[in-house]
Every structure is written in C-alpha cells, then in structure tokens.
Structure 1
Amino acid sequence: MSDDTISRRRAWLMAARPHTFPAGISPVVVGVGVAYALGVFAALPALAALVGALLIQIGANFANDYYDAINGADTEEREGFTRVTQAGLIAAAEVKRAMYLAFLAATVVGCYLVYVGGLPIVVIGLASIAAGIAYTGGPFPFGYHGLGDVFVFLFFGVIAVVGTVYVQAAAYAPAFPLTPPTGTLPTAAFVASVGVACVSTAILVVNNVRDMETDRKAGKYTLAVRIGYTWSRVEYVALLVVAYLVPCWFVTHGFGYAALLPLLSLPLAASVARTVCRYDDAAHLDPALTRTGRTLACYSILFAVGLAL
C-alpha cells in the first residue's frame, strides 16, 4: 500500500469527522433505552435508525466541509480540525459527490423505516437530509445566520430521539401508517430528547466559540459571533444544566432512581465546562470539543441503561 493511498484514506476519514459521531449515535442509544423502558423495543428498526443517523451525520459533515470551503468560510486562518476541501486534500467535486452518496445510502436505509413508520418517517427523513445540506449550503445557509444551534437541538436531539422511539413503537402497529399510531409518540421520548439535544448543541457551541474570529471575518454569523464569548459560555453551561436536570423528571414519573445514572458523567461535563469558560484558543478548545462529545456519549449510554433498568 502506497503512502498516497494511506494519505487519501486518512483524508476521507478526516472529512467524515468520526469525532462528531457521538452526536449521531447518542440519540438512537437513548431512544432505544426509552423504548425498552416502555416495552416497545424492536431491534431491526433500532439498528436501521442507527445506520441511517450515521449516514446522515456523515453526509452533513461532507456538506459542511464542501460548502464552507466554496463559500469562503474555511480559510488558512481557521484553527481546529483540518477541512479537506479547503486544504486541497480532496477535490471539491469529490467531496460533493460523497455527500450525495451518503444521503442516498441513508435514503435506501430509510426505505425500510418508511415501511415501518409510514408517512411521518418520509417527512422526518427528507427534512433531515434537506437540513444537513441547508446548514451550510443553499441560498440561506442557516448555520451562517445564527440558526445552527436550533438545527442541532432539533435534528440531533428532539427529532432523532423521538424518531427512534417512534419507529420501534410503530413496528407493533400495521405497516406504513399515514399518521402516528396511538402510543408511538410518548411524552418520555420528548423529555429524554431534551437532554441529548442540550449536550449535542453544546458540542456546536464549543466549535463556534473556537472559530468565532475567523467566522466573523468570513461573514459566517453563527450564534456565537452574534452574542460573543461571555453569552456563548453562558449558553454552554445552561445547556449542560438543563441536560442534567432531565433525568430528575424520570425519577418523579415512576422510572426509578436508576434514571439518575447520567449524573455519573457530571464530573466530566464540569471539567470541560471549566475549560470552555476559561479559554478561546484551538489548543484548548479542540480537546474540549472532543471531550464534550465524550460527555454526550457517556451521558447517553448511562441514560439508556438507567431507563432500561
């Protein structure tokens, strides 16, 4: 195997951004925990939801890499993880093609989920793919207009968790329902989704705080650029506080004290929060970004286990 081959494989891995995968996997994990607790766990829909979520995550990462480069948001001044299009490691046309292939693969997986969940899954799937592209592409890239946090909260939190619970519960109903069958959208799914949504959004906050100055120069007005360092840090801490209050709701609604297991990840979250509140350079915030992702993974696994218990 030549060095060029190894370099190319590494470049594609960098473009896929595996450090962001917890944002795609964690909602499905929590959705499985909720479904198990409610007695509607279904293995095949859960697996399909996981694969579909990862494919959409990868497609969105390719889209961000491509559109940030051609829109001029990624420059040589940008700190943080390397963007392969801007760095010239992979041609822009190839990254764009890979984006479409990832979304196509997600659509193929989604066909089974559509059979199980019906028309609601068609709406969710198309909206997720469209949002993944529109985050940095299209005539109004909402990641450039301070709406990225809302996007992550909804699609990598609320919709992902509730959708995972839905396809499992819908597996016990007739195939291809036109509207959600009774009992497939439980309140517990929505409440659990808030915790995941908050920590997922916190990942984006770290990323945007790190890139604040270069984003401002490039005309990319993320929420962090709009509200500044202080309020971005307030947002980060507030998101974590809400996330760790969510398990308390489950204890007060009959799920037992095992639902408090996510609190075991609180020391990690507090440690990362201290870093985010003190520093704004890539040397500190790149590790903080990774550690926030680990916090999300730990939180979600513990939450799912606690709910299942």
Structure 2
Amino acid sequence: TTARLGPPRLVVSGLADAHAVAAAAVVAVAIAAAAGIALAALTTPWLLLAGALAIAALTLYSGGPRPYAGYGLGEVFVFAFFGIVATCGTAFVQHQHIPVGAWALAASTGLMATALLMVNNLRDIPTDAAAGKRTLAVRLGEARARRALVATVCVALLLPSIAAAAGALPRLVIVSLAASVFALAPLRVALTATGRGLIAALLGISRLYLVFGALLTALLLVT
C-alpha cells in the first residue's frame, strides 16, 4: 500500500509491471525445479517432495484464498525452508546423510533468515493490524516482538559455537562468534526505533547475516 514504511516494492512503486515480475518468478522457479530434479535423479526421489513443498510454501505465503503470512506462520515457514530444508538438504546431497552439525547450522541459518522477516513485521505492526493481517509481531505485540527478535538473533549466533563445543562441528567454528559485533547496532535500533527507523535494523541484520554466513563458510572450509 501507499502507507508502507519499508523499502519500495517493484510493482507497488511502479518500478516493474506485475506481469513481468510474475514471469520472472516463474522462470526462477523453473530453473530451481530443473536443478532439483537433476539432484533428485543423482540422490533420492525424496528431494522432489522437498522441492514441491518449497514451491507450495512460496505460492501460499501471500497467495491463495488464505495466505499463511497473515496468520502468524511466516516465521515458521522461513525457518523451515531457508534453514532446515535448504541446509540439511544440501548436506544430504553431499554426504548421503545429514551430519549432526548440519542441524545446528540449519537452525542457525533459519533463525537468522527468520530475524529478517521479524524486523519487517515489527516495523509493519500498525499497517498490518489495520489491514487485519495477524502476523507474529501483531500477535505478540510490539514489546514482546522486539524481545523475540533479539533472542532469535542471539540464538542464531550461538548455535554453531554450541555445536562446536559439543564436538558436532570443528572447534574453529567458535570463532564465528566474532560476527556478533555486527549485531550490536541493529539490535539496539530494533529495541527502540519505530516505523521507518527500523529500516536501519533491517539493513544491519542483513549485513550480519552476510558476514556471519561468510565467516562460517570460511571456517568450515579451512578445517
């Protein structure tokens, strides 16, 4: 809507035609599906089920008669598909099983992705509530939504190190906690800012996600 407080969206802002965006989405899904079919042929047909569920989740997030994003379930599906399915699926394709450490990395990745949606929904509480959209942030209320966001980021940062301390991942992974310094500024903003002021938190958590992921990748590659 025109009351939207976040970054401009392609169609609403007039930067792109709705049909062009839909066509681009179909092409992207088709490419991903083709890659998934190839991987399933090399590993297990069960990957086809994971792919089908991912496409359904993509479609029903804001489409269909009852988009689940409006029922406080967006965070659940983001955690599941951006974290568990993506990471554990990748580990399975490479190892033909899912190592214990992969579950910790999957949960960490999923929580970090979930945090991005949480800060978006925190910013949009007034407009979502007015539109009858019952996101998790609307259901929790502003104060609890802020605390939940901070807790989500903190747990995401800690999980790989906990797994490393337990022996499920290389000990060097504990160095990934150094990325926590990138969490300080956006989390301070998330605890106090409102409206467009929360865009800084969104950008900061996005940067944290990138740095944390890159650092984890580098640490795993050198061990």
Same fold (TM over 0.5): yes
**1-structure distance, mates of 2:19, 2:127:** 24
The 8 Å contact of residues 176 and 215 in structure 2, kept in 1 or not, is answered as yes
| Equivalences for residues 253-292 of structure 1 within 5 A | 253=167, 255-282=169-196, 284-292=197-205
197, 200, 204: which is aligned to 2:110?
197
Equivalent position of 1:12 in the other structure: none
**2-structure distance, mates of 1:215, 1:86:** 16
134, 137, 147: which is aligned to 1:234?
147
Unmatched segments (≥5 aa) in structure 2: none
* Runs of 4 or more above 4 Å deviation: none
The 8 Å contact of residues 260 and 306 in structure 1, kept in 2 or not, is answered as no
Q: 1:254 offset after TM fit, Å?
A: 5.9
Q: 1:114 offset after TM fit, Å?
A: 1.4
Cα deviation digits, residues 220-269 of structure 1 (max 9, x gap): 21111111111111111111221122122212216443111211110111
50, 67, 74: which is aligned to 1:148?
74
Unmatched segments (≥5 aa) in structure 1: 1-74, 171-183
Look up the SS of the partner of 2:206 in the other structure.
helix
The 8 Å contact of residues 116 and 205 in structure 2, kept in 1 or not, is answered as yes
Q: Does 1:303 align with 2:208?
A: no
Equivalent position of 1:252 in the other structure: 166
The letter for the 2-side match of 1:167 is V
The CA RMSD over aligned residues, in Å, is 1.5
Relative contact order higher in (CA < 8 Å, ≥ 6 apart): 1
The 8 Å contact of residues 134 and 142 in structure 1, kept in 2 or not, is answered as yes
The alignment covers a number of residue pairs equal to 221
**1-structure distance, mates of 2:76, 2:208:** 20
**Identity over aligned pairs, percent:** 33
The 8 Å contact of residues 147 and 222 in structure 1, kept in 2 or not, is answered as yes
| Equivalences for residues 52-201 of structure 1 within 5 A | 75-170=1-96, 184-201=97-114
TM-score when normalising by structure 1: 0.68
**1-structure distance, mates of 2:188, 2:16:** 36
The 8 Å contact of residues 176 and 212 in structure 2, kept in 1 or not, is answered as yes
**1-structure distance, mates of 2:19, 2:167:** 51
Q: 1:92 offset after TM fit, Å?
A: 2.1
* Alpha-carbon spacing, 1:218–1:306, altered in 2? closer, same or farther (3 Å): same
Equivalent position of 2:133 in the other structure: 220
The 8 Å contact of residues 210 and 285 in structure 1, kept in 2 or not, is answered as yes
